[in-house]
Amino acid sequence: MSRFVFPRWTNKTPMLAGAVLGGAPVYLTFLIWFGFSPKTLDVGYMPEQPVPYSHALHAGELGIDCRYCHTTVEKGAAAGVPPAETCMNCHQRVKKESKKLLPIRESYTTGAPVEWVKIHDLGDFSYFNHSAHVTRGIGCVSCHGRVDQMVEVYQHEPLSMGWCLDCHRNPDPHLRPPEEVTNMTWEPPEDATTYGKSLREKRNINPSEDCSTCHR
Ligand code: HEC
Ligand code: HEC
Ligand code: HEC
Ligand code: HEC
Ligand code: HEC
């Protein structure tokens, strides 16, 4: 819960926080507006990773499908992050001496997982499920942005309750055929809302707003 008290950047910049605290009323307004506003939680969060793995290169230029690595995204609650074996399918041959890939080779030999830093992280009191969204036709891009253009992944959406509910109340503009969910450049054949409405009615899609859907 600590992130409801102080925005995450204050951990890294106590000096700055101290300086701003000097002007407490201003700081409080700032904190309430940017820290608690349900639209701005952690957007842009981009921690440093142990390996400079680029989605722009692998998912963008090389065109590897998201599901090649995030193998459980259609079957389970979590999308999953790939083990070193998946990387070594290629990197046993490609760039096999690269220093940047040292932690991958180590993990491959020792079996100890690579310590990727989790970027998207809901509080324990909220429940999320990938397969429930992806199999009903919500694309990765709706919640994660243009990952295929990100050299380093960052959090694109607030993942706040207000953000979840905005779509649960009106999913139409976000719906697409389930086979297109990993296609980052998919466009609806007609106006997105009209097309989404027809998909929703045909497939009987009805996202719930009950508290127990997300807090169980
Ligand atoms: C070749 C493997 C590979 C492919 C293909 C791939 N990813 Fe990833 N993805 C990773 C790895 C490794 C990480 C963890 C390191 C990082 O965050 O960059 C990750 C992290 C992520 C994260 C952040 C996870 C977190 O910690 O919150 C998202 C979101 C994501 N990927 C989405 C996608 C999407 C969308 C696609 C398809 C457009 C995709 N990935 C394709 C390997 C892959
Ligand atoms: C389908 C094949 C394939 C897979 C799977 C793959 N890569 Fe790559 N990777 C490449 C290619 C091709 C390059 C670019 C090589 C070049 O620049 O000549 C590359 C480059 C890299 C580089 C830059 C290396 C350097 O020295 O510049 C890193 C780091 C990297 N990959 C990490 C990963 C990680 C981590 C995974 C697993 C999550 C992974 N790759 C999975 C094909 C792959
Ligand atoms: C409806 C919104 C939504 C959609 C659609 C979605 N994600 Fe996510 N994703 C999230 C949320 C929320 C989290 C954080 C989950 C948590 O902390 O429990 C997350 C976390 C992740 C992670 C981190 C590891 C994990 O499983 O928690 C990866 C990787 C990821 N998503 C990849 C993808 C890929 C690939 C797709 C498309 C095939 C996708 N996501 C579609 C909302 C979404
Ligand atoms: C872009 C649209 C969109 C966003 C954003 C979104 N959802 Fe959903 N959600 C849906 C749709 C569509 C369904 C599927 C409804 C159906 O199957 O009838 C769904 C279903 C679910 C389910 C499954 C309910 C069940 O009956 O199993 C859960 C849980 C859920 N959402 C939680 C969340 C949470 C938590 C967030 C925010 C972190 C979120 N959703 C954000 C569109 C969205
Ligand atoms: C579609 C999913 C969803 C539904 C439905 C939902 N919540 Fe939430 N709720 C969330 C998410 C996501 C968060 C924020 C979690 C985080 O930031 O880590 C949240 C946060 C909260 C919080 C913490 C304070 C805050 O504002 O961040 C409370 C209290 C709460 N919800 C109560 C409720 C109640 C009561 C209902 C029913 C009227 C409800 N929720 C329905 C997803 C949902």
Planar angle of CA 184, 186, 188, nearest 5 degrees: 150
Ligand closest to Cα of 183 equals: 1
pLDDT tens profile 46-63: 988 999 999 999 999 999
Report residue 123's pLDDT band, with 50, 70 and 90 as the boundaries: confident
State how far the Cα of 56 lies from the Cα of 136, in Å rounded to an integer: 26
Q: Dig out the tokens for 36 from the structure.
A: 């608690």
- Cβ neighbours for 160, distance < 8 A, ≥ 6 positions apart: 38, 39, 41
| Contact between 86 and 108 (Cβ < 8 Å) | no
Q: For a ligand 1 pocket test, name from 48, 64, 69, 186 the mutation site with the most ligand atoms within 8 angstroms of its C-beta.
A: 69
pLDDT tens profile 180-210: 999 999 999 999 999 999 999 999 999 999 9
pLDDT tens profile 68-119: 999 999 999 999 999 999 999 999 999 999 999 999 999 999 999 999 999 9
- Amino acid in position 182: T
Nearest to 163 by CA among 54, 52, 43, 57: 43
User: What is the per-residue pLDDT for 182?
Assistant: 98
Nearest to 184 by CA among 131, 144, 156, 216: 144
> Atom 36 in ligand 4: which residue has the minimum CA distance?
164
User: What is the per-residue pLDDT for 34?
Assistant: 45
Report how far apart, in Å, the C-alpha atoms of 73 and of each of 98, 121, 128, 144, 181 are: 30, 16, 12, 13, 11
Q: Dig out the tokens for 56 from the structure.
A: 């722009």
User: What is the per-residue pLDDT for 41?
Assistant: 59
Q: Which residues line ligand 3 (CB under 6 A)?
A: 66, 70, 73, 78-81, 120-122, 128, 130, 133-134, 138, 140, 142-144, 159, 181-182
pLDDT tens profile 124-152: 899 999 999 999 999 999 999 999 999 99
User: What is the per-residue pLDDT for 59?
Assistant: 98
State how far the Cα of 119 lies from the Cα of 77, in Å rounded to an integer: 16
User: What is the per-residue pLDDT for 119?
Assistant: 94
User: What is the per-residue pLDDT for 29?
Assistant: 46
User: What is the per-residue pLDDT for 20?
Assistant: 43
> Ligand 5: distance of its center to the CA of 213 in Å?
10
| Contact between 155 and 196 (Cβ < 8 Å) | no
Q: Dig out the tokens for 23 from the structure.
A: 């002007």
Q: Say yes or no to pLDDT of 26 above 60.
A: no
User: What is the per-residue pLDDT for 42?
Assistant: 83
